[in-house]
Amino acid sequence: MRRLRYALRCDDARTSHLIQLGGGSATTAQAARWRLKESEPEFSSCSAEMITRFLDGLILELRGPKDEPAASPWPARRPSDKQKNDKRKQVEPAPASDGFAGAQSQDKATGTLKPDKLKAAVQMDNNLVLKQLRIALSLRSDDVHAILKDGGSALSASEAGALFRKPEARNFRQCGDQVLRQFIAGLVVRRERQSADKN
């Protein structure tokens, strides 16, 4: 998190703002502790949930919210009796129980469904971090490859593209800690180069 904030030039105030924008809660004092080194007494590690909120907030700040679907210009039609019957026959999906936001559990006393609270253990991996950064920064495939090269990576263009495939895909490639560090280092090189070009 400390390296990522440096690459993106996020001070404590902006880090706190992005996390809140992403639906989380963090003070500037907390953000200040996250950028300290582990050897410093006030150091506090940043949880996976806060990293998720930070990246979500970064996307919202740089790209804006997703566009709402346009309303249809045609008047809504009343459903037929057959459509009503078909709808009644549909089986409702089983409630999720993986602990993520939006999951539901069943109240044993009433038998009704109720939303679960978001658990701290949010599933976050390097591939997802890379994907979120690519979305937030509007990077193309060749941009990602160039940034990785700037950071010292020897991955080919096809290998870099495999980092963004679905895990079940045949050519999926796991993003290790070193590759993520190289990508963040490449972001710093790119930022410094852009600053030099402006001067």
Summarised one tens digit per residue, pLDDT across range 156-187 is 999 999 999 999 999 999 999 999 999 999 99
| 123 pLDDT above the threshold of 80 | no
pLDDT tens sequence across 43-79: 999 998 999 999 999 999 999 887 544 444 444 445 5
Residue 46 vs residues 15, 51, 117, 143: alpha-carbon distances, Å: 12, 7, 20, 28
Rounded distance between C-alpha atoms, residue 50 and residue 2, angstroms: 13
Rounded distance between C-alpha atoms, residue 4 and residue 188, angstroms: 9
Of 115-119, 130-134, 163-167, where does mean pLDDT reach its minimum? 115-119
Tell me what the mean pLDDT of segment 121-145 comes to.
89
| 33 pLDDT above the threshold of 90 | yes
Q: Kindly state the percentage of the chain with pLDDT values over 70.
A: 71
Sequence-separated (6 or more) residues with CB below 8 Å from residue 189: 147, 150, 151
Rounded distance between C-alpha atoms, residue 18 and residue 60, angstroms: 9
Look at residue 110 in the predicted model and tell me its pLDDT.
37
Look at residue 164 in the predicted model and tell me its pLDDT.
95
Q: Is 46 exposed, middle or buried (0-12, 13-18, 19+ CB in 10 A)?
A: buried
pLDDT tens sequence across 7-24: 999 999 999 999 999 999
Look at residue 196 in the predicted model and tell me its pLDDT.
82
Tell me what the mean pLDDT of segment 124-138 comes to.
93
User: Taking each helix axis from N to C terminus, what angle separates 12-21 and 48-63, rounded to the nearest 10 degrees?
Assistant: 90
Tell me what the mean pLDDT of segment 144-161 comes to.
96
